Amino acid sequence: MSLLNDIQQASVEARKARNSNASFLVTLYSEAMMVGKSKRNGESTDEEVIAILKKFKANAETMIDAVLVLNNANAQLRIDEANNEIALVTKFLPKMLTEAELRHQIDLIKDMFTEQPSMGVIMGHLKSKYPGLYDGSLASRIIKEGIH
């Protein structure tokens, strides 16, 4: 089952249960679904859905930072709502590779070649094997460390 289907199922269950998270899940599903529809008139890939999940999480984190400045009764409600959204989104996000795991995977990719592969080759292998499951800037930094 795809991440998009998982979000859709959670959305349906929340609406049936009249859960307060239902509208957020419907919005999340709609935006995730539209990526694939807009790009190729098809279903969104897990990688595209992961990008949407990360975007929603970042937006909620930004909301918390912005609301902390307010310091009023309404601010706490918004912070609670944003934390709830972060928790919901995090349930759908697959586990990201740790730095140690990423270093190990990069070493494995390098070992496949007799000569030092380019950054593009290594990043291409990472993207095909672990789409959206690693920090690209961290991977870039690790690769650059090994090239110099």
The pLDDT, as a whole number, for residue 69 is: 78
Mean pLDDT of 34-50: 92
The pLDDT, as a whole number, for residue 70 is: 73
- CB burial class (10 A; 0-12, 13-18, 19+) of residue 61? middle
Mean pLDDT of 36-50: 92
Query: What b/e readout covers 39-59, taking b as 16+ CB neighbours within 10 angstroms?
Result: eeeeebbbebbbbbbeebbee
Q: Which tens digit of pLDDT belongs to each residue from 81-104?
A: 999 999 999 999 999 999 999 999
Mean pLDDT in the chain? 92
Q: Which tens digit of pLDDT belongs to each residue from 99-125?
A: 999 999 999 999 999 998 999 999 999
Query: What b/e readout covers 116-142, taking b as 16+ CB neighbours within 10 angstroms?
Result: ebeeeebbebbeeebebbbeeeebeeb
The pLDDT, as a whole number, for residue 66 is: 85
The pLDDT, as a whole number, for residue 74 is: 80
The pLDDT, as a whole number, for residue 148 is: 56
Residue-wise DSSP of 83-134 = HHHHHHHHHHSPPPPPHHHHHHHHHHHHHT-SS---HHHHHHHHHHHSTTSS
CA neighbours closer than 13 Å in the CB half-sphere of residue 138: 16
16 pLDDT more than 60 = yes
CA distance 92 to 31: 14
